[in-house]
Structure 1
Amino acid sequence: MVIQYKCPNCGDDMTFDSHTGMLSCTSCGRQDNIQELPDDYITNRFDEEEAKQYHCENCGAIVITDADTTATTCSFCGAGVVLGDRLTGDLAPVKVLPFKISRDEARAAFKKWCKNGILTPKGFMTANRIKEITGLYVPFWLYDLNTQAEVQAIGVRSREYTRGNYIYTEKKYYDVYRDMNMDYVRVPVDASEKMHDELMDKLEPFHYQDLERFKAPYLAGYIAEKYNYDDKQLFPRVKDKIASYIDEQIRSTIRGYSYVNYKHKHIDTSQRYAAYVLLPVWMVYYDYDKHVHTFAMNGQTGKVVGKPPISKKKVTYWFTGIAGTAFVGIKIAALIMGGGLLW
């Protein structure tokens, strides 16, 4: 089932406007509040075929998608289409975080980010080689978690003092016990096998107070993916993701010691709730030096992540400059203290 949103006024295609948050017609200017639109058009369930054909209602062309695509654009007329039968039942998102940054704003922000590169090659900083920029709704699970932590440790307070010709070290040992209850809310983990996990993690934070109840028109004009992994499959990853925060929270309650030796640490994390949501990401594909570099931009905040090419010449100059500055500083300090300059 292909869903295309036709303007009731002029019949042209309507798409989601990131500035107004409305379903908008670029031809006549009509705007509709998405949250007030009926959602009874979603009636079918997902077909598990690897690829499926859809007819574009706009031009009649065949739209072929893989099994993970839930929204796309027609390659012939450019119309945005939403595949409604892939957004139902267990595959229906609970919430969506609409795009706040338009394609033009994303392009301008990426160019500005490139020009701020201190160690990137000069040609890269012109930012004129954007091969493709794609607005993508990435599937995420947002977890609410509870962690019970029981910790037994020995806290050591150590001090040194001098008596006569001897230096003494005094140590006092303390039993430390902590029984902690910690809650973590809205911890995100991307659920698409196509997206690089580290890249998606670095896009955080998203502002989840702007989450909206899912309505398919938010996807009009963008590409969207369905999840490849459910919340149970990704639970080990979300536990790993909060592990460092748990350790930091435990350490923050054990202070005032020279050092701490942990004897026993039992951590039990359980899932209270998981919501399937779609989060906005601009994917930027940049052609430089016969290679395509991939960058991601938070579609809500504009944060850019990725690894740009590094100029070896600039790196050499940079480290040489640091070394030279340090050398001059040392010589000036020596002169002030009465020493001579040895050039």
Structure 2
Amino acid sequence: MTDPRGVASQTYPCGGCGARLEFAPGSTAMRCPYCGFQQEIHAVDRQVREIAYADLAVLPRKPVGTIGAYVFQCPRCAARTETNETATLCQFCGTPLVIDDAATGQIVPEAVLPFLLDRAAVREAMRGWTSSRWFAPSALKKVSEMESTKSTYVPHWTYDSQTVSQYRGQRGEYYWVTESYTDGDGNRQTRRVRRIRWRSAQGTVSRAFDDVLVPGSFVLPVKHVDELAPWPLLEAVPYQPQFLSGHSALRYDVEPEAGFEEAKNRMAPVINDDCRRDIGGDEQRVGSVNTQHHDVTFKLMLLPIWVATYVYAGRNWQILINGRTGEVQGQRPWSRTKIALAVILGILLVAAVAYLLYLRDVL
């Protein structure tokens, strides 16, 4: 249920005209969108820390399912905005609103990766992306303006873990045998055939994982969010709410315990590859892997994503742009004509090669 009293929020008045300051992408300052007044965001005297996973039980937080919508009261026009975001804009006057850390009911972010790309850079990334879609309709390249763009900080959990894995499997080694066969002319021939000799294998491998990323929100398609990687996580700074001013920020709806289970799933293929290398031989089979996690730490980090929507053929299409690197992922239309032409050209190419091989054999 929504708290009718609303939540405490923070805004940053402009020292020049009294409007509200917004974080300027690509800088370390907040800037007034009206008079251009700029205020530096001073670095805090602390480091981004990793939290021991064992300390989760004592952290002050509410279960995700019990947190209702937040209600912001705008300090400028007194309007009330109901939202599930921890940073937003007043729906009436556009004043930036950032929730007070103590009012979220959730774990406070430890780090933030500030936006580097501004709206102009996003438009360039969009144009580059549309022009490189080979099987998209040609008209898509003419789409230069987006229906909407929203700079959004998306919560991610990061996990560190020291792993020790015991495995059982099989090691395969090639050997060759000679076998006889009858060819198409009825003649007896011999040929060398490769076989595999399998032997049981077992062992132990270890690996240290650092900053395994797990999206903490389902609001955006997880597949496309994952495809925005890699992220320059070393450029992240200790969290300060000033970096959120003028932008949106999602709250997490994935508990850190569930995030760790997903992190284990993301570690598993890497551990499996380690097991295969340890088995050695020419081929490997991994039957079972038992992994123990030690010295597990985690943190909540906000990553910058531009959420853009463009209109094509009467339909809205959503794309996501990495707010640091400009990597673009998302939805796109397909041209049936171009795909059909590509298939036809492929068939003609195969037929041409087959005909040339036929002529070579005949001549």
Asked if Structure 1 and Structure 2 have the same fold, meaning a TM-score greater than 0.5 normalized by the shorter chain, the answer is yes
Residue matched to 2:131: 115
Amino acid at match of 1:51: A
Task: Give the TM-score normalised by structure 1.
Answer: 0.85
Separation (CA, whole Å) in 1 of partners of 2:98 and 2:171: 59
Separation (CA, whole Å) in 1 of partners of 2:151 and 2:101: 21
Residue matched to 1:63: 80
- Give, in angstroms, the shift of residue 228 of structure 1: 1.6
Separation (CA, whole Å) in 1 of partners of 2:195 and 2:310: 61
The answer as to 2:29 corresponding to 1:11 is no
- Give, in angstroms, the shift of residue 14 of structure 1: 1.3
- Give, in angstroms, the shift of residue 143 of structure 1: 0.7
Q: Which moved more, 1:48-57 or 1:74-83?
A: 48-57
Separation (CA, whole Å) in 1 of partners of 2:36 and 2:320: 33
Residue matched to 1:94: 110
- Give, in angstroms, the shift of residue 332 of structure 1: 4.8
Distance 1:249 1:296, change over 3 A: same
Q: Which moved more, 1:211-220 or 1:192-201?
A: 192-201
- Give, in angstroms, the shift of residue 156 of structure 1: 2.8
Check whether the contact 2:81–2:91 (CA below 8 A) recurs between aligned residues: no
- Give, in angstroms, the shift of residue 129 of structure 1: 5.3
Residue matched to 1:150: 166
Check whether the contact 2:151–2:248 (CA below 8 A) recurs between aligned residues: yes
- Residue by residue, what CA displacement relative to the aligned partner does 1:176-207 show, whole Å, maximum 9, x if unpaired? 33211111110111111322221221111111
- Give, in angstroms, the shift of residue 218 of structure 1: 0.1
How many residues are treated as equivalent by the alignment? Answer: 329
Check whether the contact 2:275–2:286 (CA below 8 A) recurs between aligned residues: no
Separation (CA, whole Å) in 2 of partners of 1:169 and 1:70: 62
Q: Which runs of 5+ in 1 are unaligned?
A: 38-44
Separation (CA, whole Å) in 2 of partners of 1:238 and 1:21: 32
Task: Give SS of 2:94's match.
Answer: coil
The answer as to 2:202 corresponding to 1:177 is yes
Check whether the contact 1:147–1:182 (CA below 8 A) recurs between aligned residues: yes
Separation (CA, whole Å) in 1 of partners of 2:207 and 2:277: 13
Separation (CA, whole Å) in 2 of partners of 1:250 and 1:238: 19
Residue matched to 1:75: 91
Amino acid at match of 2:151: G
Separation (CA, whole Å) in 2 of partners of 1:102 and 1:326: 47
Separation (CA, whole Å) in 2 of partners of 1:94 and 1:111: 34
Amino acid at match of 2:164: Q
Check whether the contact 1:95–1:276 (CA below 8 A) recurs between aligned residues: yes
The answer as to 2:300 corresponding to 1:276 is yes
- Give, in angstroms, the shift of residue 277 of structure 1: 1.0
Residue matched to 1:103: 119
Describe how 1:121-132 pairs up with structure 2 within 5 A: 121-128=137-144, 130-132=146-148
Structure 1 vs Structure 2: percent identity of aligned residues? 22
- Give, in angstroms, the shift of residue 25 of structure 1: 2.9
The answer as to 2:259 corresponding to 1:234 is yes
Amino acid at match of 2:352: V
Residue matched to 2:56: none
Distance 1:334 1:171, change over 3 A: closer
Distance 1:287 1:297, change over 3 A: same
Check whether the contact 1:154–1:261 (CA below 8 A) recurs between aligned residues: yes
Separation (CA, whole Å) in 2 of partners of 1:266 and 1:50: 40
Separation (CA, whole Å) in 1 of partners of 2:223 and 2:295: 22
Supply the RMSD in Å over aligned alpha carbons. 2.9
Q: Which moved more, 1:314-323 or 1:1-10?
A: 1-10
Task: Give the TM-score normalised by structure 2.
Answer: 0.81
- Give, in angstroms, the shift of residue 261 of structure 1: 4.0
- Residue by residue, what CA displacement relative to the aligned partner does 1:247-277 show, whole Å, maximum 9, x if unpaired? 12221233333x3344543233457111011
Residue matched to 1:195: 220
Separation (CA, whole Å) in 2 of partners of 1:65 and 1:84: 15
- Give, in angstroms, the shift of residue 315 of structure 1: 0.4
Q: Which runs of 5+ in 2 are unaligned?
A: 1-7, 46-60, 181-188
Separation (CA, whole Å) in 2 of partners of 1:140 and 1:184: 16
Check whether the contact 2:157–2:214 (CA below 8 A) recurs between aligned residues: yes
Residue matched to 1:293: 317
Describe how 1:18-29 pairs up with structure 2 within 5 A: 18-26=25-33, 27-29=35-37
- Give, in angstroms, the shift of residue 53 of structure 1: 3.4
Separation (CA, whole Å) in 1 of partners of 2:341 and 2:196: 50
Separation (CA, whole Å) in 2 of partners of 1:75 and 1:111: 29
Check whether the contact 2:160–2:211 (CA below 8 A) recurs between aligned residues: yes
- Give, in angstroms, the shift of residue 234 of structure 1: 1.9
Distance 1:176 1:29, change over 3 A: same
